[in-house]
Amino acid sequence: MARHLLLVGSSSAALRAAAELGFRVTHLDDIRRVRPEHLGRAARTVLTDLSDEAEVLAMAAAVHRADPVEMVLSMQEDSLEVAALLAARLGVPGLAADAVANTRDKARMRAVTQAAGLASTVPFLAGPSTPGDRLRWAGEVGYPVISKPRDGSGSRDIRIHRRAEDLATAAPTALLEKYVGGSEHSIEAVSRDGVHHLVAVTDKTVSADGRFVEMGHCQPSRLPADVLGRARDELAAFLDAVGVVNGVTHTEIKVCDGRVFIVESHTRPGGDRIVEITKAATGLDLAVAGLAAVAGLPSAGVAAGRPGGAVVSRYFTLAQAEIAAVHGLDTVRADPAVLMCHFPYGTGDTPPRTVSSSTRHGYLICLGADLDEATAAVTRLAALVKVEYRR
């Protein structure tokens, strides 16, 4: 009989990976945010309140009594801690609880990496803090500084403070960090038995409004070979420090003057279609490889025939006005250079202001033999999408 996986939270990539690897899946999800398209894709679906620990433990125990669970996993950010807790309580393989806690709580992550003496650690002040605490600390490390939620993701509520007057807007519970300039990237990796395999480095373009919302991605990275080598070394030291043993990770970094700084990390695949981008660029399916690593299965997720090309994504930027018509999407989607095109707005819609990953306006992802070709394709095709607004 197929191995029984308890999958926590909504994740299309995880459901697909479980099916590809032949798992029998019980899908445990939050009744308030389960995605309709995920219903019916598992042998059974159990809906509850994932924030109610006692209820979740009772549900999982009932499933385990009726049909013994052999593994627990999540690839959805808000469900990682629940999944790690269930794996520990049921005594089955899953993500290491320490690794999840050390990466979900960014202040804890900073403290762990500082204690390990990692060069990639930036100066930080963990909340809660008083206005006086924040001003004294910022005066010592120098402006600008960043404030962010300890458990945030998706560029939510990130702020840059360039002087003392700006710092008054920082939340008392926020994590403060010394701002590091330079370029933004992420490292997509798979770990097996404590050995960390760098799969790809993704270059990023972020918004210029101080919110650092990711507006474009590309693989392979344009970073020089020596910097990529340092990134690999820093990643391995970091993942060792936070306790990652098995599974997929998405680690955000900045590179400034050749130095590599760890921004944050997640014990799941990256969002923003990075799973699809990485598979197209490298041939490796991060979701399948990560699930196989946690399950102790042979290496999996490598497509036949490594593509070896380049992939570039770009997010659309629309006006905050009522849309009268959208033109060009059919032409764009039919182009052979297009890997994916998502445009969620139509006549009568008013796009929101982009302040986080969840309020972006859709994306276009293009392929090319190299980065120049893929970049040219995404630029050419994005220009074909014409939006008319009501006056």
- For the residues of 270-281, what is the DSSP string, one character each? -TTTHHHHHHHH
Half-sphere exposure in the Cβ direction for 12 (13 Å, CA):
10
Confidence of residue 127 (pLDDT cuts 50, 70, 90): confident
If asked whether residues 323 and 275 sit together in one domain, one would say no
352 pLDDT higher than 60 = yes
CATH of the domain at 315: 3.30.470.20
Evaluate whether residue 113 is within a structural domain. Answer: no
If asked whether residues 314 and 291 sit together in one domain, one would say no
Evaluate whether residue 185 is within a structural domain. Answer: no
Evaluate whether residue 184 is within a structural domain. Answer: no
Which residues in the chain belong to E strands, given as ranges?
4-8, 24-30, 44-48, 71-73, 124-125, 145-148, 159-161, 175-178, 183-192, 195-206, 214-219, 247-256, 259-266, 310-315, 323-327, 338-342, 363-368, 386-389
Among residues 295, 329, 361, which one ends one of the domains? 295
If asked whether residues 90 and 131 sit together in one domain, one would say no
Buried b (16+ CB within 10 A) or exposed e, 117-138: ebebbbbbbbbebeeeebeebb
- Total of domains in the chain: 4
If asked whether residues 90 and 12 sit together in one domain, one would say yes
Predicted local distance difference test score (pLDDT) of residue 153: 60
What confidence tens digit (pLDDT) does each residue in 32-71 have? Answer: 988 888 888 999 999 999 999 999 999 999 999 999 999 9
Half-sphere exposure in the Cβ direction for 277 (13 Å, CA):
32
Element (H, E) at 13: helix 12-20
What confidence tens digit (pLDDT) does each residue in 64-104 have? Answer: 999 999 999 999 999 999 999 999 999 999 999 999 999 99
Secondary structure (3-state) at 104: helix
If asked whether residues 283 and 357 sit together in one domain, one would say no
What's the token pair of residue 151?
A: 């458990």
Evaluate whether residue 280 is within a structural domain. Answer: yes
Q: What percent of the chain has pLDDT over 90?
A: 84
If asked whether residues 316 and 275 sit together in one domain, one would say no
Report the candidate in 115, 23, 135, 9 with the shortest Cα–Cα distance to residue 71.
Answer: 23
If asked whether residues 9 and 76 sit together in one domain, one would say yes
CATH of the domain at 61: 3.40.50.20
If asked whether residues 8 and 88 sit together in one domain, one would say yes
What confidence tens digit (pLDDT) does each residue in 272-294 have? Answer: 999 999 999 999 999 999 999 99
CA 258 from centroid of its chain's CA atoms: 24
Predicted local distance difference test score (pLDDT) of residue 306: 54
If asked whether residues 89 and 141 sit together in one domain, one would say no
Evaluate whether residue 301 is within a structural domain. Answer: no
User: Which residue, chain included where needed, has tokens 């999840």?
Assistant: 100
Evaluate whether residue 210 is within a structural domain. Answer: no
Is there a contact between 343 and 252 (Cβ–Cβ < 8 Å)? Answer: no
303 pLDDT higher than 80 = no
Predicted local distance difference test score (pLDDT) of residue 267: 98
**Residue range of the domain that includes 342:** 310-389
Is there a contact between 193 and 245 (Cβ–Cβ < 8 Å)? Answer: yes
If asked whether residues 58 and 11 sit together in one domain, one would say yes
Among residues 232, 262, 295, which one ends one of the domains? 295
Report the candidate in 52, 43, 58 with the shortest Cα–Cα distance to residue 1.
Answer: 43
Evaluate whether residue 209 is within a structural domain. Answer: no
Confidence of residue 152 (pLDDT cuts 50, 70, 90): low
Evaluate whether residue 157 is within a structural domain. Answer: yes
Secondary structure (3-state) at 381: helix
Is there a contact between 175 and 111 (Cβ–Cβ < 8 Å)? Answer: no
